Chains A and B, each alone.
Chain A
Amino acid sequence: MKQLTEPELRTLMLLSLNGDEVAYRCLLDMLRHLLISYYARRLGGSAASHVEDLVQDTLLALHQRRITYDRERPFTAWFFTIARHKLVDHHRRSGGRVHIGLETVGDVVDGYREDAISANMDVHRLLASLPAWQGDMIRQVRLEGHSVAETAASTQRSEALVKIGVHRGIKALAARLRGERGEDG
């Protein structure tokens, strides 16, 4: 199973914060699989039933507290801090004898650290995989916050075409990301 990179997840998060349901569903699906392996590795086989609870708890926390994500910062660092917080809370409730060091968050986040540094450049690389006009419209409408009318004017296309471009582009993006996940998904 190919893990999505920080810029890919961050792009999905930015689109989700703008209210894009397709991107949001895709993001939650991806994170759910990341979380299952994150918690399963840390709880051991005996606690498999807790894993699903923790996954749900964490996705719910992401949803309810997404207001605290700072768009200028790496997404995975923010998200796995929440996941770790839920893990600590879980251990505290169940007796708290398990020692959790900083390394538990470190080894997951490590894989993302390098990406995180170049995150700002790479958000746009994902969009570049789309037809240029679609990528451009998503960038203007969803990332830079221009209105559909402004984007239509600056690209000299109709408003309907801008809407279609954004919609199709995001669908294609979601399909591409799902495809990368392979048979596990």
Chain B
Amino acid sequence: MAKTDDMINELVKDLLPVRKTALHRLLVLALLPGLALSAAFILLGHGFRPDISAALWQFAFWAKSAYPLLLSIVGLAALISVARPGGRPLGAAIPALIIYALLVMLGILQLNASTSPVEQHRLIMGISYWFCPMIILAAGAPLMAATFWFLRRAAPTHAHLAGFIAGMTAGSIGAWVYSWGCIENGLTFVALWYTLGILLCGLVGTLLGRYLLRW
């Protein structure tokens, strides 16, 4: 028991005040360098899309960028929740699915508005369908390091779920970063291949969670 006495003495000596917003601040602190690295990777390695100034006037560009951004917001809220002991934010699936359904609806409207079969094929498969999920995985990697760094300092008690949310959130933010470089305009393309990239990040996160989020 003397050992426990010593430990309590050490802990009391080590006590520092904790702000009310400390957990949120830790998440922001983790994400900023992750976001900077991801943006540097996309903008230096890939660059803005060449027609960026024209794209800024297109609805499809903003819808494509809003989709992962909205998912990121849902993901960040879920991340804060899963970081606390007992946190199991399964309800976050509902807004995420609504966001996805909206994108699919817009994608179908866009497909119907197009008359040429070649154009329709382009809206679905793009010119780079295999490339897109891979680059989202890569753009998400530094952000995944950030979300895991955060969770390892928090107290998630559901390691797989926490890993999944960390991966999905990192993938969504990575996809948002990539949306500034990606030349595709098809919303069905986004619904398929962006989503695949984000899900791949979620899968990697789930597998990593098992090893990295034990405490």
Contacts and interface: CB of A to CB of B under 8 A. Distances in A.
Given A19-B15, A85-B157, A56 B85 contact: no
Nearest to B9: A25
B77 to A, nearest CB: 14
Contact of A82 (B15, B83, B85): B85
Residues of B contacting A: mostly: loop
A44 B85 CA distance: 26
Contacts of A61: 155, 215
Interface in B123-169: 153-155, 157
B8 A28 contact: yes
Interface of A: 16-19, 21, 24-25, 28-29, 32, 52, 55-56, 59-61, 63-71, 77-78, 81-82, 85, 89
B50 interface: no
29 contacts: A16-B15, A17-B18, A21-B15, A24-B11, A24-B15, A28-B11, A28-B12, A32-B8, A52-B1, A52-B3, A52-B4, A56-B4, A59-B4, A59-B7, A60-B11, A61-B155, A61-B215, A63-B14, A64-B153, A65-B85, A65-B154, A67-B153, A67-B154, A68-B84, A68-B85, A71-B20, A78-B85, A82-B155, A89-B214
A69 B18 CA distance: 10
Contacts, number: 75
B94 interface: no
Residues of A contacting B: mostly: helix
Size category, B interface? 20 to 34
